[in-house]
């Protein structure tokens, strides 16, 4: 039914009061005026017929307005809820789990045991006091860790007997720089190639988040996309067919 | 008789209405004469000048307008607007009738026509009407649905509903009921015009028909 096909109320000021027909307290004169009006007004007649059908349907139980029964199909809500949860879980895991290394994953069998700097992974974006962690080496008395900015203007070093070291707060690394890490063992020959190396960048929380999302595991991205698809399916409803 | 006027003032029209109500001879003709031109213009615009029902529609609208004046002795609104709206509604009826009842050869249908039981088509129409009404109801807010359920399913007295809703008068309950039914009608019209978001007149039910089970 297009607007051109819709009936118009012939006396809208009176038609507005049509609902008062139901009210027993309505003045008899107004009631009669409304009934007279409906005799000539197709719009109000239709309105009354629809109202009567709805009321009759509700009374005889063929129609229902019960919130519990008529609140709609349950599955769109399940889809929306499940999809939202899947998206949230995927994004949270991406932010919390260590990012993947951008280096090729195809490590040769004889290199799989090769000691490496485990965190930060190469080119990872981290905060100003990152923890550097590496593969423990056998027969090593201590490690000497050096962090140097690309332009060598910033340099920090520390010593530890554990296979990890956190940059202390009093030596916070300025944000927005790229740093190289060199972990040397004592004695030096225990570490291959003169030491373990990696590089990282420092950045704000949002930059860290973006980096982690970019490096998110494909499986987690799959979870997010699947969740998004489910949520969209939950919100999406069939478009009406024109002219039907 | 005066010539049909395009420029009859509302004052003249109202004077004509008063004369008509007083029973002045010729007042009816004068009013119809004043209404004829705007009615004709609208009917021709609506149906097209060469439509065979133009004269009937004009005549129907004129007579219905005069009947309205006879019945409602308090009417003080815009008579031309009222007459034109009656005419336009009449045109809608005619067009809808033409759409639904294209030329049919009635010979051979005598048995079917004399059958007083509802036809399959009528039953389908009834079902479709029922489905649309249910969908319109499903789109109402919870408060509206609760109100309608309470009034018409649980038969809660209006005064009890007034207290439940914290309203001052019973009239306010009827007002709310009227608002809820108006919303249902609006949803229904949206459904019929295919403008509803997420609801289709035909096709898979996404919401609402679950309640029939």
Site from B86, B151, B178, B200 to mutate, A interface, most A CB atoms within 10 angstroms = B178
| A45-55 tens-digit pLDDT | 988 888 999 99
Query: Between B209 and B137, where is the model more confident?
Result: B137
Q: Is residue A53 part of a domain?
A: yes
- Partner B contacted by A51 (CB < 8 A): yes
Q: Does domain B118-212 have CATH number 1.10.10.10?
A: yes
Instruction: Output the six-digit token pair for B92.
Output: 């809608």
**Is A4 inside a domain boundary?**
no
State the Cα–Cα distance between residues B25 and B23, nearest whole angstrom: 6
Exposure string of A148-180, with b = 16+ CB inside 10 Å and e = fewer, is: bbeeeeeeeeeeeeebebebeeeeebeeebebe
Query: Which residues of chain B have a CB within 8 Å of the CB of A48?
Result: none
pLDDT score, position B130: 87
**Percentage of the residues of chain A whose pLDDT score is greater than 70:** 87
Structural domain count, chain A: 3
Shared-domain flag, residues A187 and A120: yes
In a domain, A78, yes or no: yes
Q: Would you put residue A124 in left (φ > 0), alpha (ψ -120 to 50) or beta? A: beta
Is the reported ipTM for this assembly greater than 0.90?
no
Q: Is A197 a domain residue?
A: yes
Tens digit of pLDDT for each residue in A121-180? 888 999 999 999 998 888 888 999 999 999 888 899 999 999 999 999 988 999 999 999
Cβ-contact B147, B177 below 8 angstroms = yes
Is the link from the previous residue into B159 a cis peptide, with omega within 30 of 0?
no
Domain limits for position A231 = 72-97+216-244
- Please give the residue that has the higher pLDDT: either A90 or B192: A90
Residue A192 lies in a domain: yes
B49 burial class (0-12, 13-18, 19+ CB within 10 angstroms)? exposed
Q: Which token pair is A164?
A: 């990890």
Chain A residues within an 8 Å CB radius of B64: 40
Give me the residue spans of the domains in chain B: 10-100, 118-212
Residue A160 lies in a domain: yes
Say what the pLDDT of residue B196 is: 42
Q: A82: Cβ–Cβ under 8 A, 6 or more apart, which residues?
A: A227, A230
**What pLDDT is stored for residue B150 in this prediction?**
92
Residue B23 burial class via C-beta count within 10 angstroms: exposed 0-12, middle 13-18, buried 19 and up: exposed
Q: Which residues contact A49 (CB under 8 A, 6 or more apart)?
A: none
Query: What are the angstrom distances between the C-alpha of B116 and each of B106, B112, B122, B130?
Result: 16, 9, 12, 21
Whole-number Å distance between alpha carbons of B90 and A201: 77
> In this predicted model, which residue has the larger pLDDT, A66 or A230?
A230
Does A105 map to a domain?
no
Residues B89, A8: C-beta atoms closer than 8 Å: yes
Smallest CA–CA distance, residue A44 to chain B, in Å, is: 11
Q: Do A57 and B198 touch (CB under 8 A)?
A: no
User: Residues A10-46: pLDDT tens digits?
Assistant: 999 888 888 888 888 888 999 999 999 999 998 899 8
Residue of B nearest to A238 (CA): B198
Instruction: Specify the CATH number of the domain B10-100.
Output: 1.10.1740.10
SS3 A179: strand
pLDDT tens track for A109-120? 455 567 888 889
């Amino acid at each position: 039914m297009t607007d051109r096909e819709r009936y118009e109320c012939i006396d809208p000021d009176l038609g507005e009061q049509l609902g008062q027909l139901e009210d027993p307290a309505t003045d008899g004169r107004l009631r009669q005026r409304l009934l007279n009006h409906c005799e000539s007004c197709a719009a109000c007649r239709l309105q009354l017929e629809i109202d009567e059908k709805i009321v009759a349907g509700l009374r005889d139980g063929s129609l229902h307005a019960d919130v519990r029964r008529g609140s709609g199909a349950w599955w769109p809500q399940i889809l929306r809820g499940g999809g939202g949860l899947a998206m949230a879980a995927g994004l949270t895991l991406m932010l919390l789990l260590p990012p993947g290394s951008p280096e090729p994953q195809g490590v040769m069998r004889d290199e799989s045991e090769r000691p490496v700097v485990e965190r930060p992974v190469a080119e990872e974006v981290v905060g100003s006091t990152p923890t550097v962690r590496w593969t423990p080496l056998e027969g090593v008395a201590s490690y000497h860790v050096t962090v140097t900015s690309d332009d060598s203007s910033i340099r920090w070093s520390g010593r530890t007997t554990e296979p990890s070291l956190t940059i202390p707060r009093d030596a916070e690394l300025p944000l927005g720089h790229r740093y190289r890490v060199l972990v040397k063992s004592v004695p030096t020959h225990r570490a291959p190639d003169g030491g373990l190396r990696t590089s990282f960048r420092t950045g704000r929380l949002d930059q860290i988040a973006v980096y982690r999302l970019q490096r998110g595991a494909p499986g987690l991205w799959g979870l997010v996309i699947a969740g998004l698809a489910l949520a969209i399916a939950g919100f999406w409803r069939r478009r009406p067919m024109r002219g039907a | 008789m005066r010539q049909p006027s395009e420029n009859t003032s509302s004052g003249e029209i109202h004077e004509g209405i008063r004369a008509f109500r007083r029973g002045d001879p010729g007042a009816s003709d004068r009013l119809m004469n004043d209404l004829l031109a705007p009615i004709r213009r609208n009917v021709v615009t609506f149906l097209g000048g060469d439509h065979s029902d133009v004269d009937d529609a004009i005549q129907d609208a004129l007579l219905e307008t005069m009947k309205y004046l006879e019945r409602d002795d308090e009417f003080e609104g815009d008579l031309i607007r009222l007459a034109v709206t009656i005419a336009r509604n009449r045109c809608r009826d005619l067009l809808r009738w033409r759409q639904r009842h294209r030329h049919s050869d009635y010979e051979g249908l005598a048995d079917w026509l004399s059958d007083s039981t509802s036809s399959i088509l009528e039953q389908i129409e009834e079902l479709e009407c029922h489905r649309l009404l249910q969908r319109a109801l499903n789109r109402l807010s919870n408060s509206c649905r609760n109100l309608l359920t309470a009034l018409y399913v649980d038969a809660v007295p209006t005064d009890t509903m007034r207290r439940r809703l914290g309203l001052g008068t019973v009239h306010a309950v009827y007002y709310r009921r009227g608002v809820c039914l108006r919303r249902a009608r609006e949803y229904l019209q949206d459904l019929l015009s295919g403008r509803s978001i997420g609801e289709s007149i035909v096709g898979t039910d996404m919401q609402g028909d679950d309640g029939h089970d």
